[in-house]
Structure 1
Amino acid sequence: MDIRQLEYFLAIVDHGGFNRAAAALYVSQPALSQTVRSLERDLAADLFHRIGKRAVLTEAGRALIEPARAAVRGMETARASVDAVQELRAGRLDIAAMPSPAVEPLTSMIRDFGGRHPGVQVRVRAAFTPQDVTDMVRAGAGELGLLTTSGPLPERGVVSHPVGVQGLVLLTPPDGPFPPGRPVAREELAGHRLIIVQRGTAVRAYVDELREHGVEFAVAAETEHRASVLPMVLEGVGLAVVTDSWRRTAERAGALVLDLEPNAELRIALISRRGPLSPAARAFLDRALTEPR
């Protein structure tokens, strides 16, 4: 068994099939299949059920995912350590991030880091809830994670590094029901149509708590695609509660952004796995923690 075999195996898992994995790796599909069959012989177990053009993980394949990621991550850390001698002129850093902090402060963090280490590619991987971010960092799918939460910061298996706080705001069309410049009390949301996001986020928790306080509203749409919220607001589908990180983007797009009363204070944190980090992750973390946000 070697790292290349594990990288090919994970590419099939991450890209959903042999053909897409081969295209992403810039190798031929027969070469990819041969490498994976060699890995299966080494392990004496089938890793995929091959059903037509589909590749479905076997139980053995599912069991291999986490140790394979750990092995590949360890090799990438070793390679990145060599790059560190060359002042991080090359390498890649994977960051698992929730949609809202991925808008800000992650944009500023990547800008600052990229200005110092332009040769290091930062790859942002999507995660929808704080638990998703934590699970991805624990499993090695992201070396760092960025999340917002109204609850305690995660501790089991990771190290949390607070980087700031954010509040919540209300997005409305420019001709919406509330005047600009005045905070909106939660009771004023009664009777309106709201665009909501999936459970497990602080934004969804705030909206769910409205009904606990007697504020009845209609759900205009529920979406897991956070990027679709702003377009739906601008098209008049409904109003939306989002984190303050969307303020600048929403205002530039023409939406009205209003403060909420009472508000919620969300903590923003970078999380890292316990143990040694790659030089790129360490440099990114140090930069993010020293720069004011």
Structure 2
Amino acid sequence: MDFRQLERFLAVVDHGGFHRAAEALYVAQPSLSQSIKQLERELGDALFHRVGRGVVLTEAGRALVEPARAVVHTLRLAIESVEAVHGLRTGRLEITAMPSQAIAPLAGVISRFTAEYPGVRVVVRAGATADQVVEAVRTGRTELGLLAGVRLPQRPGVGLHPVARQRFVVVTSAGGPFPAGARVGPDDLSGLRVIAGQTGTGMRAVVDELIRSGVELTIAVETEHREAILPLVLARSGIAVLADSWRETAERAGAVVVDLDPPVHLEVAYVSHAGGLGPAARMFLRMATDQER
């Protein structure tokens, strides 16, 4: 068993099949399949059930995932540390981020980081909820994560690095119920229809709490696609409660953005793998946390 076999095994797990994993690894699919077959022979057990073009982990495969991630993570740290002896000239950094925080603060930090280290490729992966971000980092799929929540999740296996607070705002269509610059309280929202995010997101937590407190909000649309919320608002399907990082984008699109009063905030934090970070991830996290001080 070697590093490459484990890396290829995890690629098949993460991409849900051999074809997509081969594309992600830039290898021929027969070569990838041969590596997995060799690994299965060495372990004496099948790792995947083949289902159509996809795969499902066997019990043995499920048992291998976390140990494989730990081994691959440790070896990557070692390789990256040696390569960084003469500076961060090359490399790859993967970050899982929630959509609103990918706008801010992540975009600004990436801009600074890539300007200073142009040879390092930054890959941003999507995590719809804080739990998805934590799980991506905890299992080693990415070294860093960026999440937000009304309360930050505390989980074993990861470190939290708070960097910001973002205020929630109400976004409406032009000519909607509120003038630009208004401050609206919970009672002002009664009787309105709202475009809500999925359960597990900060925006959904605020909407649910308003409803529990007696505000007569009607969820008109529930969507996992964050990019669909603003078009739905502009089409007058309802209002939305979004993080303040959306303000500039919403106003440029012609929406009206008003503040909630009393204010409700999102806590924003980076998440790091408890097993340590490679040089690129360490430098990125240092930039991210220094920027917010």
TM-score (norm: length of structure 2)? 0.94
The 3-state SS of whatever aligns with 1:162 is strand
Please name the residue that 1:163 is paired with: 163
- Give deviations 1:37-85, integer Å, cap 9, x for gaps: 0010111110111234332211111222222222222222122112212
Alpha-carbon contact 2:48-2:58 (below 8 Å) kept = yes
The 3-state SS of whatever aligns with 1:167 is strand
Please name the residue that 2:236 is paired with: 236
Distance 1:29 1:152, change over 3 A: closer
Alpha-carbon contact 1:150-1:265 (below 8 Å) kept = yes
Alpha-carbon contact 1:153-1:269 (below 8 Å) kept = no
Q: Percent identity?
A: 54
Please name the residue that 1:116 is paired with: 116
Alpha-carbon contact 2:10-2:65 (below 8 Å) kept = yes
Question: Is residue 246 of structure 1 aligned with residue 246 of structure 2?
Answer: yes
Shift of 1:273: 2.1
Shift of 1:239: 0.8
The 3-state SS of whatever aligns with 2:27 is coil
Shift of 1:153: 5.0
Shift of 1:97: 1.3
AA in 2 matched with 1:266: L
Distance 1:51 1:266, change over 3 A: closer
Please name the residue that 2:256 is paired with: 256
- Give deviations 1:245-275, integer Å, cap 9, x for gaps: 1111111222111111122122111121224
Alpha-carbon contact 2:234-2:255 (below 8 Å) kept = yes
Which runs of 5 or more residues in structure 2 are unaligned? none
Aligned length: 293
- Give deviations 1:127-146, integer Å, cap 9, x for gaps: 12222222221111121111
Please name the residue that 2:277 is paired with: 277
Please name the residue that 2:135 is paired with: 135
Q: Which runs of 4+ in 1 moved over 3 A?
A: none
Tell me, in whole angstroms, the C-alpha distance in 2 between the residues paired with 1:23 and 1:265.
41
**Equivalent residues in 2 for 1:1-293, closer than 5 Å:** 1-152=1-152, 154=154, 156-292=156-292
Between 1:282-291 and 1:25-34, the stretch displaced more is: 25-34
Tell me, in whole angstroms, the C-alpha distance in 2 between the residues paired with 1:141 and 1:177.
44
Shift of 1:109: 1.0
Between 1:186-195 and 1:153-162, the stretch displaced more is: 153-162
AA in 1 matched with 2:77: T
Instruction: Compute the RMSD of aligned alpha carbons.
Output: 1.6
- Give deviations 1:196-252, integer Å, cap 9, x for gaps: 011122221111111222211221110111121112112222110011111111112
Tell me, in whole angstroms, the C-alpha distance in 2 between the residues paired with 1:160 and 1:137.
11
AA in 2 matched with 1:68: A
Alpha-carbon contact 1:49-1:57 (below 8 Å) kept = yes
Alpha-carbon contact 2:95-2:124 (below 8 Å) kept = yes
Tell me, in whole angstroms, the C-alpha distance in 2 between the residues paired with 1:271 and 1:29.
33
The 3-state SS of whatever aligns with 2:45 is coil
Between 1:162-171 and 1:209-218, the stretch displaced more is: 209-218
The 3-state SS of whatever aligns with 1:68 is helix
Shift of 1:152: 4.3
Tell me, in whole angstroms, the C-alpha distance in 2 between the residues paired with 1:157 and 1:165.
24
Between 1:187-196 and 1:19-28, the stretch displaced more is: 19-28
Shift of 1:165: 0.8
AA in 2 matched with 1:268: V
TM-score (norm: length of structure 1)? 0.94
AA in 2 matched with 1:238: G
Alpha-carbon contact 2:150-2:205 (below 8 Å) kept = no
The 3-state SS of whatever aligns with 2:154 is coil
